[in-house]
Chains A and B, each alone.
Chain A
Amino acid sequence: MKLSRTTFGERIINSLIILAGYSSILFVGLILVFLLREGLPALNDVPLKDLFGSRWYPIEKYFGILPLISGSILVTVGAILIAVPFGIGTAVFLSEFSPPWLRNLLKPIIEILAGLPSVVLGFLGIQIVAPFFRRFFDLPTGLTAFTGAVLLALISLPTIVSIAEDALNTVPPAYRQGALALGATNWQTAWGVTVPAARSGLLTALMLGVGRSIGETMAVMMVTGNAPVLPGGLNALFMPARTMTATIASEMGEVATGSPHYHVLFFIGIILFLISLVVNLVASSLTLRSRKRSERLLS
């Protein structure tokens, strides 16, 4: 009797846990269905040529989303170029070189950075960073894609550091001991053995950093100037840009439900969804491939 009651209780707990596990699939599925239902009519409302045009001014029916896509890519690539050297470097320092007392000081500080609301960073950006860059680079305005990229780098840095550090910590100590025993210096061990061994985890860190950057809205909206300009060259990084997230955030509140503008904003949401899907697929396939390779090497 007692036994059956226990198994009954256990079965309930088990099914609750399974339900919780499947619920995330359900939620993502529902979000996708909702996005598709609200966004796909955009293809019907706006001719494809106009939708992928170069001018975004929705209150006059210009629905060209190319400047927005390129704006997001520009800001994100800029952020990753800044954040990855800093982030991986910090992680390598924390896990390989730092004395324990310094690590115990640095890690909470990095976590505080992760906890800063992005609107606070945006405020600092508009008051301090943007005016500084305008003077420093002698730009017409400091509200540029680059300013956004710097803030995004700060925002994605904690993600990159903590995942990269985890990856480095999971490298078996025998690797380091072996390298040191062969006479390699600390630096040679870190650069030649530990970092390559943790490569898949570091790539995951990078990809999650990309995901964090492309989805960030508030700080970017405050400092990039939000001008929907199609980038013409490398100097576009130092000109204003408008991202997809900032566009949705600033226009969704005003738009009439069911209008072409409304559908196009959801269509932009679909594109963001697809981008984060691709980023995640790439991240997991990289992890998978390198694992297979290491498994092959070990066997």
Chain B
Amino acid sequence: MKRITVFVIVIIAMILTACTASGSDQTPPPSTYIQNKGSDTIVNLALAWAEEYQRLHPEVRISVTGGGSGTGITAMISGTVDIANASRQIKEEEMQAALANGIEPVEHVVARDAIAVIVHPQNPVNQLTIDQISLIYQGVINNWQEVGGENRPIVRLSRETNSGTHVYFLEEVIRKGDHNNKAIFSADTLLLPSSEGIIAEVSDNPNAIGYDGLGYVTEHVKVLAIGTQPQGPFVLPSIETVNSGAYPISRDLYMYTRRDAPPLVGEYLNWILSPQAQDIVSRLGFVPIVTLSAGN
């Protein structure tokens, strides 16, 4: 009898704690809380923006998570986040899914990014053409000798297929921007789950070639100069060369919001386009769009 009483009390206590736990989840008022999710390329930038904005506006809470452009857009479509970060434009089928869900996505270009092609610091190769990189990643060129390097096998590194950087590289470098080109990555391309994995392998392995966002490149790897023609010019990625359009592998970075987003989200996006926020962009190795529009 006594045991049963204890048992019942324990059960009631458990139910009560469960209730308070679920109740406390709802305390942050939604009006000052911005959920931001998506591209791993932008995640550091989005975090830096969020920190600075929260410092200026202590009443606003911004949470930033990565996971990939598609993950962020899917979350925005299902209404679980306010802002989706994407390193590519929204796809037609994602747009349809959003509209079917009663959400109209709005596109904002928030920064620009250049993709750096990287090799081991001791690799004597300094420059490659887009054609050569395309042939390397298709598995046609398999030895560094064929592009003016040492007699070493080429180990190709890439981000996973869920990365916006992967899709961008496939379309703009391997297929050279040609939509009828159906070339794909060689099957023996190593697909690494993170930018850090690519930097770690390239900085250790003299056979490796990799690519990553300019913002992720460290001094442990060598960045190659890229040319569109075999005779040159070959251009190293930098804020100036990306802004001037001289560096061929660069792209816009986006944030997507829903048309009927709360005003708070709009204020945040306006701030992101301010010179103060764009200053953070260049500090993190990306390319600010304000400078771009001034240059044009």
Nearest-neighbour CB distance to chain B for A170, whole angstroms, equals 35
In the complex the two chains form, what is the Cα distance from A277 to B135 in whole Å? 44
Question: Is B18 part of the binding interface, using a Cβ–Cβ cutoff of 8 Å?
Answer: no
Nearest Cβ on chain A to B225's Cβ, whole angstroms:
25
- Contact present for A222 and B4 (CB under 8 Å): no
Inter-chain contact B184/A57, CB cutoff 8 Å = yes
Known: A142-B205, A225-B190, A254-B68. A126 touches B197 (CB 8 A): yes
One of A25-33, A176-184, A226-234 contacting the partner: A226-234
Question: Does B185 make an interface contact (CB < 8 A)?
Answer: yes
Which positions 190-244 of chain A face chain B at CB distance < 8 Å?
221-222, 225-230, 239-240, 242
Pairwise interchain contact A228-B187, C-beta atoms closer than 8 A: yes
Report Cα–Cα, A227/B197, bound state, in Å: 14
In this complex, the interface size class of chain B, counting residues with CB under 8 Å from chain A, is: 35 or more
Complex Cα–Cα for A131 and B160 (A): 21
B92 close to chain A: CB less than 8 A: no
Q: In the bound complex, what is the Cα–Cα distance between A122 and B260 (angstroms)?
A: 43
> Quick check: is A127 within 8 A (CB to CB) of the other chain?
yes
Q: Tell me the interface secondary structure of chain A in the complex.
A: mixed
User: In the complex, A235 Cα to B195 Cα: how many Å?
Assistant: 28
Instruction: Find out whether the CB atom of A134 lies under 8 angstroms from the CB atom of B205.
Output: yes
B187 vs chain A, min Cβ distance (A) = 5
Is A250 in contact with chain B by the CB < 8 A criterion?
A: yes
A142 to B206, CA, bound (A): 12
Contacts of A251 in B (CB 8 A): 160-162
Shortest Cβ distance from residue A285 to the other chain B in the assembled complex, whole angstroms: 38
* A256–B204 CB distance below 8 A: no
Q: Mark B249-291, 1 if CB is under 8 A from A, else 0.
A: 0000000000000000000000000000000000000000000
Given contacts A140-B153, A253-B67, A256-B93, contact A222 B162 (CB under 8 A): no
Q: Does B192 reach chain A (CB closer than 8 Å)?
A: yes
What does the 1/0 interface line of B187-210 toward A look like (CB < 8 Å)? 111111100010011001101100
A240 touches B67 (CB 8 A): no
Q: Is the CB of B197 within 8 A of A222?
A: yes
Pair B188/A58 contact, Cβ less than 8 Å = no
The 8 Å CB contact of A143, one of B4, B70, B162, B190, is: B190
The verdict on A293 contacting chain B, using a C-beta distance below 8 Å, is: no
B125 within 8 A of partner (CB):
no
Query: Which of B162, B185, B188, B204 interacts with A239 by CB under 8 Å?
Result: B188
A62-79 near B? 1/0 per residue, CB < 8 Å: 100001000000000000
Q: In the complex, A131 Cα to B193 Cα: how many Å?
A: 18
Across the two chains, which residue of chain B brings its CB closest to A261? Answer: B161
On whether the beta carbons of A226 and B191 are closer than 8 Å, the reply is: yes
Q: Which of A118-157 contact B (CB under 8 A)?
A: 126-127, 130-131, 134, 140-143
Q: Which residues of B have CB within 8 Å of A240?
A: 188, 190
Contacts of B70 in A (CB 8 A): 254, 256
Which residue of chain B lies nearest to A5 when distances are taken between CB atoms in the complex?
B1
Please tell me the number of chain A residues within 8 Å of chain B, measured between CB atoms.
Answer: 35
Q: Knowing A59-B161, A222-B193, say if A140 contacts B155 (CB, 8 Å).
A: yes
CB distance from B50 to the nearest CB of A (A): 22
Query: Min CB distance, B61 to chain A, in Å?
Result: 24
Q: Taking A59-B161, A222-B193 as contacts, is the C-beta distance between A227 and B93 under 8 angstroms?
A: no
Asked if residues B68 and A141 are in contact (CB atoms below 8 Å), the reply is: no
A141 to B74, Cβ gap below 8 A?
A: no
With A59-B167, A134-B205: A253-B191 Cβ-Cβ less than 8 Å: no
Whole-angstrom distance from the CB of A207 to the nearest CB of chain B? 29
Chain A residues whose CB sits within 8 angstroms of the CB of B57 once the complex forms = none
Q: Given the complex of chains A and B, what is the CA–CA distance between A242 and B190 in angstroms?
A: 9
CB of B276 to closest CB in A, whole Å? 33
Contact B4–A229 (Cβ < 8 Å): no
Cβ contacts under 8 Å, A107 to chain B: none
**Complex CA distance for A131 and B120, rounded to whole angstroms:** 13
Taking the closest CB of chain A, its distance from the CB of B94, in whole angstroms, is: 8
Q: Which of B4, B67, B188 contacts A227, CB < 8 Å?
A: B188
Judge whether B182 is part of the interface by a CB distance below 8 angstroms. Answer: yes
Q: Which residues of B contact A143 (CB under 8 A)?
A: 190, 192, 201
Contact pick for A67, options B71, B153, B187, B189, CB 8 Å: B187
Q: Are B191 and A242 in contact (CB under 8 A)?
A: yes
CB distance from B93 to the nearest CB of A (A): 7
Provide a sorted-by-A list of 12 A–B residue pairs whose CB atoms are within 8 angstroms: A9-B4, A55-B187, A60-B182, A62-B184, A126-B197, A134-B204, A141-B155, A142-B204, A222-B197, A230-B187, A242-B191, A254-B70
Q: Which 8 A-B pairs have the closest CB atoms?
A: A254-B162, A225-B190, A226-B191, A254-B70, A140-B153, A141-B155, A131-B204, A250-B160
- Where the two chains meet, the residues of B that have a C-beta atom closer than 8 Å to any C-beta of A are 1, 3-4, 67-68, 70-71, 74, 93-94, 97, 152-153, 155, 160-162, 167, 170, 182, 184-185, 187-193, 197, 200-201, 204-205, 207-208
With A140-B152, A240-B188, A256-B74 given, name 5 new contacts (CB 8 A). Answer: A60-B184, A227-B188, A230-B187, A250-B191, A256-B97
